[in-house]
């Protein structure tokens, strides 16, 4: 199941962005998905679903936004490796 969300956008913003409503809606979905992924609120697969793209395409978009595809910090990753080593 899904829900439809409506966002009101001033005409002058639409003119300034020089985008049609459909393209802008896709960009907003992608931007929200990237931010929620960056904040750790969504997994890559769920964020890709929100953005309406494949997981591979979402990972490529993360690079465009300057967001790491890895949710673990370097410290957390090192701790995980130490834990595995025993």
Lowest mean pLDDT among 14-23, 25-34, 64-73, 74-83: 74-83
pLDDT band at 59 (very low <50, low <70, confident <90, very high): very high
Mean pLDDT of 21-41: 95
pLDDT band at 79 (very low <50, low <70, confident <90, very high): confident
Mean pLDDT of 35-41: 96
pLDDT at 83: 85
**What's the predicted TM-score (pTM) here?**
0.79
The DSSP symbol for 69 reads S
């Amino acid at each position: 199941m899904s829900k439809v969300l409506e966002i009101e956008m001033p005409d002058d913003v639409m003119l300034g962005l020089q985008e049609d409503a459909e393209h802008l809606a896709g960009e907003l979905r992608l931007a929200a998905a990237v931010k929620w992924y960056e904040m750790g609120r969504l997994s890559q697969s769920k964020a890709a679903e929100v953005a309406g793209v494949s997981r591979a395409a979402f990972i490529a978009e993360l690079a465009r936004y300057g967001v790491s595809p890895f949710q673990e910090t370097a410290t957390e990753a090192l701790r995980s490796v130490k834990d595995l080593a025993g």
